Amino acid sequence: MKRIQFKQWLLLLCIFIAGKLNAQNPIIQTIYTADPAPMVYNDTVYLYTGHDEDKSTWFTMKDWRCYTTTDMVNWTDHGSPLSLKNFSWAKKDAWAGQCIYRKGKFYWYVPMNHQTMGMSIGVAISTSPYGPFEDALGKPLLHSGNGDIDPTVFIDDNGQAYLYWGNPYLKYVKLNEDMISYSGDIITVPLNAEGFSKRIKDADKRPSEYEEGPWLYKRKGQYYLAYPAGGVPEHLAYSTGPTPTGPWKYRDTIMPVIKKGGAFTNHPGIIDYKGRSYLFYHNGALPGGGGFTRSVCVEEFTYNADGSIPRIAATSGILNSHQNLNPFKRVEAETIAWQEGIETAGDNESGIYATAIDNNDYIKVRSVDFGKGAKNFEANLAALTDGGTIEIHLDSLEGSLVGSLHVKATGSLINWQLQTCQVKNIKGKHDVFFVFHGTESNLFNFNSWQFGKK
C-alpha cells in the first residue's frame, strides 16, 4: 500500500491516538488485508489473508499473504506464499480462503475466477505453513456453477474433513483423506429461519440472514458456523449444531455492523490460542480504506458459561501480549505491532524486510523484555548512502532515547551488513520504537535486529 498517504493530517491524528491507546487494530498496516483465516500450528498463530490492491474500486485481489505471531501483538510478515500465478486455470479474483494442516502437509483452499467457468475453488499444497504452495490438481477442486467462493475447511475428531462455502447458497462436501478430492454429492444447506434467522433486509432476495464467508469449527462437543449476515453492510452471526452438518440452529449476532471505519463486508475467523479465544475480522479503518481496501483486525473474547458467543465490539485492539519478546535473539524487522510509513518487500536470498523508509517513519514492537539490561544494538541493514539514522525510543515516540545507530552505505539496497551502536543500559519490559531519520527518501532497507548484553 504505497505510503498509504501517511503524511496526511488524518493519519497523524490516528497515529497519535493509536500511540496513546496502544492500538493494535488493524493489525497489519503495510498493505490492505482482508478475509482473515487464522490457523494454530506448533504453538504459533498463522494468519492467512487476502490482499486488496491499493486504490481498488472493486475486490481487486491477486495474491494471498501470511503472517505469524506467538504473542498476539507483534505480527511477522512472511510475504505472499500463494498467488493467482500458481494456478494455470485462474483468471482473477484471489478471494477468501483457508489453510489447514493434515499429516505433514498444509492444504490451502482458495476461490478464483476460472478462465472459462467463473468462480471455482482450488486447493494448493505445501510441506511448510510458509509455503511455497503449489496447485495440487491443475484444475478446480470444486465448481458447482453458482456462488463458489469463501471456502472454510474443518477436520472432525474422527478424521472426516468437511469443506463449506458459498454465496448466496451454503454448500458443503465431505473431503477424502487425501484432502484434494471428495466423496458423495455437493450438499446445499437449507437456509431456513430456524438455522440462520429470518431475513429482515431484502427479504425477497434471500430466505435467511446468511450471506457468505462461513467459518466452521468445534468446541467442547458443539459445532459452530460463523458467517457474515444480514446483507450490506454485513454483521457477523453464528449458528450451532450437534454434528458438522447440522441441523443448524441460529444463535445470535457476534459482531454488529461496524459503523465507524467499517468496510460493508466482513469475514470471521475464530480460534483458541494459549487458553484464550480470538475473533478475527476486517474493517476499512486504515487511511484510504473502505469496502474494497480492507484491513484485518482481532479481538479477544470469552465464551459464556453455556458455550454461547457474546456480542463482540470492534475496538482499538488487544492490549496485553501473551508473552514477552526476547530482544537478545534475532528479530525480523518486519515483526511489527504498529508502524507508520513502512512497507515490506522480499526476495529469495534476503527474505522479507522493511523498506520504503523515509524521515520520521517508525516501527513499534511491543512487550520487549530486556531483563537485567542491554548495552548494544545490532541491525542488519542495506543502504546506498550514509546519512540515515535509527533512533531507539522506549514506550512512546517521545520516550527515552536510549541509542542512535548512524547507518553507513553498504553499496546497494540488498547488500546487507551488520551495523551496531551502544545503548544505555535498558532494563525491564518496554515497548520499543525504532524511529527513522534522514534527508533522503528511501533511506535504507532493514532486515533484522538484536540487542546484546555486553
Q: What are phi and psi of 9, to 5 degrees?
A: -60, -30
User: How far is residue 304's CA from residue 424's CA, in Å, rounded to a whole number?
Assistant: 47
Q: Find where cell 429461519 sits.
A: 193
Distance CA 15, CA 338 (A): 9
Rounded CA-CA distance 454/452 in Å is 6
Whether 33 and 282 have beta carbons less than 8 Å apart is answered as yes
Catalytic positions are: 35, 211
| The three three-digit cell numbers of residue 327, written as one number | 530482544
Distance CA 404, CA 177 (A): 55
Q: At a CB cut-off of 8 Å and minimum separation 6, what does 16 contact?
A: none
Q: Are 317 and 74 in contact (CB under 8 A)?
A: no
CA distance 166 to 413: 45
Task: Report how far residue 315's alpha carbon sits from residue 30's, in angstroms, rounded to the nearest whole number.
Answer: 20
Cα–Cα distance measured from residue 173 to residue 302, given in angstroms and rounded to the nearest whole number: 31
* Closest C-alpha among 42, 51, 140, 31 to residue 91: 140
**Whole-Å CA distances, 276 to 62, 135, 215, 322, 427:** 33, 34, 18, 9, 29
The counts of H helices and E strands in the chain are: 2, 33
Amino acid at the residue 188: T
Pairing between strand 98-102 and 105-114? antiparallel
Q: What CA–CA distances, in Å, run from 5 to 49, 152, 330?
A: 23, 34, 31
Q: How many Cβ atoms sit within 10 Å of the Cβ of residue 222?
A: 13
Q: Distance of alpha carbon 188 from its chain centroid, rounded? A: 29
**Contact criterion met (CB below 8 Å) for 26 and 316:** no
Name the 3-class secondary structure at 238. Answer: strand
Measure CA of the first residue to CA of the last residue in the chain; give whole Å.
Answer: 39
